[in-house]
Chain A
Amino acid sequence: MKRLWAAIVLIVICGGVCAFNIYYLNMANKETLRYAERIVSQYKKGEYEAASFTANELENSWEKNEKVLCRFLSENKLENVRVIIAELPNLAEYENHEFSFYIKKLHAALEHITGKEKLSIY
């Protein structure tokens, strides 16, 4: 009976950790996409400096989220996103033609992370 109780406690711990992982990943994902949308709209309006400033904010916010996410996800996956986000401030400020390509890459990288966390047997 003692072992059964231990199993129940472990089920609760595992469930809690998994739920927090999914919640935090979704929250970080939404926050990043929100920032990305703001950067794109500022860029389209020609507010390049403001877009660069927002991109810097995104970098800080991702850095904060990454500290928590690296406890659940492989660092290699998170590094991809970090590298893309780090490029955005310069690309936005100097109106680089690769800006939209990097935004697409950011979307793809985030989708890859969240997709891998969805329940699947493949």
Chain B
Amino acid sequence: MLTIILRTVIIYVLVVFAMRIMGKRQIGDMQPTDLVVTILISEIAAIPIQDPSNPLLIAIISVFVLIILEIIMSVISMKCSFINTLTNGRSVIVIKDGKIQQKVMKKLRITVPDLVELLRSQGIFDINEVAYAILESNGSLSVLQKNYYQPAKAGDVCKTDTETIYPSLVISDGKIIKRGLNDLGKTKADINRILNSKCIEIKDVFIMILDSSGDSTIIKKGEKK
């Protein structure tokens, strides 16, 4: 029993390591190759846990080999578009100029209810609103609405482009988030200056959000916002 617990812990660490090393692509949008690797890793990882007579090393080496293959394939795909298309497929236009591409849909074996469902997941309930719909290689649908139905942007009202303000979390639960400071190009001294001007100490801050224009939002510990 103890062996199984120990093996489970090792496999857990190994699979987390494998997912991290394969990159964020693996978690968010899965391409066919990513999906294959993920399924294989989960299967292989389970073997030594289910059957203790199987050596743990076999699972470790197999997972390592899958990581190697995944990295090599992603590098090759990046360099060679032909291989990329071959392994991951390509995106396909299913609605063009507001017209459903019936031949393409037949080829992809997608029914109209499937398409309508995908559109609904994008917040579009009327197929007439769509100018272009593209089925991406990871199975998600990208939609470009007809001009009339597109939501208004700030640019439609204000013709001059203003600076985009980027907010970043710089203090969380009394601790400075260095990455947040780096993103804004600020230092700890800048934070201290802002807090001193408001007579607040860092340890009393629950959340502090600073943006690139210098504006800050501070929520003190025990304070409701």
Interface positions of A (Cβ within 8 A of B): 3-4, 6-7, 10-11, 13-14, 17-18, 70-76
Asked if A71 and B64 make an inter-chain contact with CB atoms under 8 angstroms apart, the answer reads no
Neighbour of A4 across the interface among B54, B57, B61, B71, CB < 8 A: B71
Name 8 A/B residue pairs within 8 A (Cβ), A-sorted.
Answer: A6-B21, A14-B64, A14-B65, A17-B57, A17-B61, A18-B61, A74-B53, A75-B54
- Interface of A, secondary structure class, is helix
- The smallest beta-carbon distance between B69 and chain A, in angstroms, is 9
- The smallest beta-carbon distance between A75 and chain B, in angstroms, is 4
Does B67 reach chain A (CB closer than 8 Å)?
yes
Residues of B1-44 contacting chain A, CB below 8 A: 21-23
Asked if A72 and B55 make an inter-chain contact with CB atoms under 8 angstroms apart, the answer reads yes
The size bracket of the interface on B is 10 to 19
**Chain B residues, Cβ within 8 Å of A71:** 55-57
Beyond A11-B68, A71-B57, 7 extra complex contacts between A and B, CB < 8 Å? A3-B21, A3-B23, A13-B64, A14-B61, A74-B54, A75-B53, A76-B53
- The smallest beta-carbon distance between A40 and chain B, in angstroms, is 31
Q: CB-nearest residue of chain B relative to A21?
A: B57
Asked if B68 and A10 make an inter-chain contact with CB atoms under 8 angstroms apart, the answer reads yes
Asked if A7 and B67 make an inter-chain contact with CB atoms under 8 angstroms apart, the answer reads yes
**Chain B residues, Cβ within 8 Å of A4:** 71, 75
